[in-house]
Amino acid sequence: MPEFEDLIKIYQTRVNQALEKYLPPKEDSRLLNAVHYSVLNGGKRLRSILVYLSSELGKTESSIADATACAVEFIHCYSLIHDDLPAMDDDKLRRGKPTCHMKFDEATAILAGDALQPMAYELICSIENLPDATKVLMMNKLTRACSYQGMVEGQMKDIEMKKDMTVIELDLLHEQKTGILIETSLELGGIIGGLDDSELSILKAYGKKIGLAYQIRDDIIDIESPTFESGKPQGSDAMKKKITYPSLVGIEEAKLKSQSLAEEASNILMNLNSKSESLRSLTSYVVTRNY
């Protein structure tokens, strides 16, 4: 998939440039230094790419797509900063570099995450040439993804993880902690692209499948990919005795499950227009990556 990986790099460069544009200047602020450090610390930019690809199924201005992609990335980065905290996952490395609380301190990391979430909403509100009703709809989608029904509850389930957790319970945890923002990224791209309700429903269904496939692949990468490749300590899930797909069903069964979800996701896209080819390529990339 070299051609698609080249396309990914183009989108990554695009959103990284947009992030530098939309972030407030650091000046002498310790808080904003922490924000810049966390947001511009590399990463796959998957959720931003999903915004771009889904928006291209319709038609929108590039500036609108850039702002929407950055808003999603702000939310994602806020969640990573907080997930890494000692009271949560207690991670020391993120993308091969010290996590925010290790680079700065715990209080600064908490506040950096707190700052990024409203920055995402402010950015959506400030998008020009977008009807207010569309902005309200986008805000509703994004806030729901972050709420007690979504990412926050998913993290709570992660903290309370039981040793006798079932696959169904693990699926729900992944849907809330990881999958819902992936779904929302696709929906937001579709909204600014002017897609109709039936097309948005297809994107949401696709996102549900690909979100779980993505998380299962992450679980596999934790076992198989060395730290220099994944950017996180190899085997950290096992060291923390976390329940993952490989720990529940075995690594080979986990691989089969992620591939099966990817195939189901690709089949869902058959109901969209011919421009969905890039999303189909992304589906394959998600379950074959090593970082």
Rounded to two decimals, the pTM is 0.94
Q: CATH number for the 2-286 domain, one of 3.20.20.140, 1.10.3300.10, 1.10.600.10, 2.40.30.40?
A: 1.10.600.10
* Type of residue found at 14: R
Task: Tell me the pLDDT of the chain averaged across its residues.
Answer: 92
pLDDT tens track for 126-158: 999 999 999 999 999 999 999 998 999 999 999
4-49 tens-digit pLDDT: 788 899 999 999 999 999 999 999 999 999 999 999 998 899 999 9
